[in-house]
Amino acid sequence: MSMRDFSKALAEVVREVSRSVITIYTVRPSLESFFGLTPLVGAGSGFIVGEGLAVTNYHVVRGAGVVEVVYGDGVRGGGRVLAHDPGRDLALLAVDRRDVKPIRLGDSDKLEPGELVLVVGSPLGLQGPSISLGVVSAIGRTLVDQESGVILEDLIQTDAAINPGNSGGPIVNASGEAVGVTTAIIARAQGIGFAIPINTVRRFIAMIEKYGRPLRAWIGVYVAPLTAEIASMLGVAVKEGVVVVRVMPRTPAHIHGLREGDVIVKAAGRKVKSVRELREAIEDSVDQGCVELEVLRGRSKIEDCVPVVVEEIA
């Protein structure tokens, strides 16, 4: 394929995807002075995932009293937050149009560094959509936003430009499939951007469908993928797993003796090699009340069923 043909194909992908992308404006009441409430207006992006349903970042609609949606064809409408999960930085919106074609969802598990991706959204609140092109720089990133305290796991890293206002819009592959949700919550990022994998979005929606609301299931650990260097340092003879980097006090993991440096190789009877796989195993064990873990500590192997804590998301 010539460069001209490739360029035209990419432009067609943009036209197709843009029909499903929305700009989101929010109004939040703010006590700016002793003279009364002054509304603050925020902006972000989102995309249609089903009939009358859209996805965006939670931080885009957090605290919003009014949500206004501008569709790709310029028509304005209203929106309402149906569910949200601050830990995933995701929100599901009900929108007032049902004739907008949903975006096609890809499989973020198949993403590889070096793949071309497009970021589609409304940077700085400018009605778009606006497009930026880049590559997948890395996958499986875990980041802590110091300002908000939010820990985002299993992120996609890209060099495509992501600015405030892009938050909540899709990152799409060359086939026009959404493979992530862009997030500009990491304010200190310079020259790199991050996206929440689309399979995390699928999981978020599936939990709402199953339980009627998103739930947070956890055992009290933060983990990162095991690397050869870390495995050598810890003295474990495995190449795949997740290493415990933090154990929260007074949680089931802490009570059951998990420690920083432990390597979890199996959860709920299946191998785990990513943050997402452990999280899904924990969520799938909600009905059992505990998750079976196989843990390596140096040359020792520990097996235990650690209770799963289920919380309503406020």
Q: Which residues are catalytic?
A: 59, 89, 167
- Structural tokens at position 14: 């943009």
Residue 233 CA from chain centroid, whole number: 30
Nearest to 159 by CA among 194, 108, 112: 194
Range 137-176 burial, b when 16+ CB lie within 10 A, else e: bebbbebebeeeebebbbbbbbebbbbbbbbbbbbbbeeb
310 exposed, middle or buried (CB, 10 Å; 0-12, 13-18, 19+)? Answer: middle
* The Cα angle at residue 86 between residues 313 and 264, in degrees rounded to 5: 90
Under 8 Å between Cβ of 203 and 278: no
